[in-house]
Amino acid sequence: MGYQNLKFPENSVFLVTGGAGFIGSNLCEAILNLGYKVRCLDDLSTGKQENVDLFIDNPNYTFIKGDIKDLDTCMKACEGVDYVLNQAAWGSVPRSIEMPLFYCANNIAGTLNMLEAARQNNVKKFVYASSSSVYGDEPNLPKKEGREGNLLSPYAVSKRADEEWAKQYTRHYGLDTYGLRYFNVFGRRQDPNGAYAAVIPKFIRQLLNGETPTINGDGKQSRDFTYIENVIEANLKACLADSSAAGQAYNVAYGGREYLIDIYYGLTKALGVDKEPNFGPDRAGDIKHSNADISKAKANLGYDPDWSFDKGIKAAIEWYKDNL
């Protein structure tokens, strides 16, 4: 259970791309707490300087301001690195529909640069962020690897392309790659601001500020909301996985299913707010229901998440109360 007792070789060096972002900064923090060296690569386009400043005084932490779209930057960042945790990407399905060329350049070509840099620098393990969006319109629940549908957004295309490129690097170059299909991650340091903010922090911020949140659609869509601690566990356990598990993608979730309208009323209750939501149109490219089968990650990576949605949402609410 968890990751706090995981052991890596002494003086191991981890490169976290997108390390100034929500998931990346939490990975940096966890690795530093385990006593290993962390290199953070981020261009601060969506990541935050404050997430760098948290660790900048730690002698095991190095920040590189740079862009994964530049191969030379990736090559330098990978020098002497044992494990790459590639989180650098732009998220948001709606934004990807508005900016398809950028998503191709950043999420696909940028990841390919990182794969090539990792290969040339003899990195041991390359773990990268994929997404539940790769399941597209496949209607069956739970979502199971190998049973994908038609992709519904440029963002989903970018993540599926990353998986295919990673397979090639395992097949032809012997680079151990592990794709992690994140299901609606939430938790501390997730940005509650902006048009493309994730729903949980956005609702919490709005309710704390006395605003009325808008739910896209009827609120009856469901998601396998996954607390950040489970995602950290999956990344670190993938770094210790057997090579026979490489070249594949894995669902990373708790394996639950929460309805948006239930989450909304749960938040109003927890925050002591009596406010009905507004309802807006469905978002283009969104999947209606999402719930993960995590048996493959359990079998191949030893993934055993112990943060349920209820446990995670309590922790998240407390963090936002203290930090908003």
Tally of CB atoms within 10 A around 41? 29
Q: What is the mean pLDDT of residues 272-284?
A: 89
Residue at 236: amino acid letter: L
Q: Which amino acids are annotated catalytic?
A: 155
In tens, the pLDDT along 296-321 reads 999 999 999 999 999 999 999 999 98
Q: Tell me the percentage of the chain whose pLDDT exceeds 70.
A: 99
| pTM (2 d.p.) | 0.96
CA 178/CA 245 separation, integer angstroms: 8
Domains and CATH numbers, the chain: 13-185+227-255+287-306 (3.40.50.720)
Is 28 in contact with 61 (CB distance < 8 Å)?
A: yes
Q: What is the mean pLDDT of residues 45-65?
A: 97
pLDDT at 1: 67
DSSP class of residue 4?
T
pLDDT at 193: 87
User: Greatest CA separation found in the chain?
Assistant: 58
Q: What is the mean pLDDT of residues 22-41?
A: 98
Give the closest residue to 55 by CA, choosing from 74, 79, 31: 31
Give the closest residue to 108 by CA, choosing from 150, 69, 151: 69
CA 40/CA 66 separation, integer angstroms: 10
Q: How confident is the model at residue 254 (pLDDT cuts 50, 70, 90)?
A: very high
Q: What is the mean pLDDT of residues 130-141?
A: 95
In tens, the pLDDT along 77-127 reads 999 999 999 999 998 888 999 999 999 999 999 999 999 999 999 999 999
3-state SS, residue 289: strand
Phi, psi for residue 202 in degrees, rounded to 5:
-65, -45
Phi, psi for residue 70 in degrees, rounded to 5:
-105, 115
Q: How confident is the model at residue 43 (pLDDT cuts 50, 70, 90)?
A: very high
Is 228 in contact with 185 (CB distance < 8 Å)?
A: yes
CA 240/CA 219 separation, integer angstroms: 39
3-state SS, residue 8: coil
CA 88/CA 41 separation, integer angstroms: 8
The single residue listed with the structure tokens 């939490």 is: 26
In tens, the pLDDT along 52-61 reads 999 999 999 9
